[in-house]
Amino acid sequence: MAENLSWLRRGVAEIFPQPDATDSETESLEKRLINTPRPLRIKLGIDPTGADIHLGHSIPVRKLRAFQDAGHTAVLIIGDFTACIGDPTGKSEVRRQLTEADVVQNAQTYLNQVRPILDFDTPGRLEVRYNSEWLSQLNLGKILELLSTMTVGQMLAKEGFAERYKKENPIFLHEFLYPLMQGYDSVAIEADVELGGTDQKFNIAVGRDLQRYFGRQPQFGLLLPILIGTDGVQKMSKSLGNYVGLSEHPSDKYQKLQGIPDNLLQQYFELLTDLPLEQLPERPRDRQEYLAWEVVRQYHGEAAANESREAAKTGGKQGAILEFSLTQVQFPAKLAYILNVSGLCKSTGEGRRKIQEGGVRLNGEKVTDADASFPEPGELAGKVLQVGKNKFVRLVG
């Protein structure tokens, strides 16, 4: 894997810094990977600002897995501290600040949803860190030191800030702290490489500057494309309704993906699968079906992918009841939360609404308490959880 770096370049928009033909001193990431005497530390930060992750979010997580498979250490940072501020990148106005309870609950759902992608089992291949571990310990003196590393002019060069400043939309001082805190994460965990979308270049570059300031070797930045949504026009977003959620029912995933516009199929295959691009079917319709089948297989298994394909042909749901492992849930747990992580509902809030509306049954019996909670998985193992007429999962231990 050290010499064959095709996995590294697949679907990548940019790696920086990258020496040019006249630069003999700057080391490339490719050379670092080949010559390193130790596993590199690969950073990916995710702020749990919502309950659900969609396929667009999975792209850097999949690249993180590729580094794991190449023998390196993935450092997944849960931004429980930074989420309380909210990344201002790409936002035209200040983000709502979350409560600690919001962040804790969202963080658990995020980990459940990325579990099918990352290697959680091989020793030394994954560290899950919460940035409150170091950011909550910063005193005013250290914060002032961080602030002194950047000028207001440099901060306003950030695309989102520049646009808001030009339009005279308010920029609050706490938002200036976000790039510095994300950058300090790289110092704290001694990152060699940081992954992110193309909209994260500024924040990743700040991390490089801070590492240099604190006498550390600056990280490489590896940027990945922003996935266009199912509408074929705008970036994938839950608020726009053009997304495919990781926790969605397999049939729903399949139905959405088999309708991806022809011009996006190549990108979807490149970013969401490991399939050889030169071996894809020629007919666009065959490609759509193959994409839908492969993505469902990754998250739910081959049987679910086959059932989803057959159901799509008849316009219904799968005939067999899919299983959901309760090992993905941290108990005690509310039923509304289980409805979310099992894919029966798109969010915990929707789960509560479905219960209140009388649309949820457990082993055929209607559940009416929206706050119903279970202290351990043994009470649920073997039972069938149902939402509406067509959504079922069998809960297994």
What range does the domain containing 391 cover?
Answer: 321-397
Domain count, the chain: 3
Residue 233 lies in a domain: no
The residue out of 177, 209, 224 marking a domain boundary is 224
Please indicate, yes or no, whether residues 99 and 25 belong to a single structural domain of this protein.
yes
Please indicate, yes or no, whether residues 365 and 263 belong to a single structural domain of this protein.
no
Residue 122 half-sphere exposure toward CB, CA atoms < 13 A: 12
Residue 197 lies in a domain: yes
| pTM score, whole prediction | 0.75
Residue 147 lies in a domain: yes
pLDDT in tens, the chain (397 residues): 445 788 999 999 999 998 876 666 678 999 999 999 999 999 999 988 776 789 999 999 999 999 999 999 999 999 888 877 765 655 544 455 667 777 788 888 888 889 999 999 999 999 999 999 999 999 999 999 999 999 998 888 887 788 888 888 888 888 888 899 999 999 999 999 999 999 999 999 999 999 999 999 999 999 999 999 988 889 998 778 888 988 888 888 998 999 899 999 999 999 999 999 999 999 999 999 999 999 999 998 998 899 888 887 765 544 456 778 888 888 899 999 999 999 899 899 999 999 999 899 887 678 989 999 999 888 888 788 889 867 888 888 6
What is the rounded CA–CA span in Å between residue 137 and residue 131? 10
DSSP string, 16-47: ES---TT-SSSPPHHHHHHH-SS--EEEEEE-
What is the rounded CA–CA span in Å between residue 138 and residue 185? 12
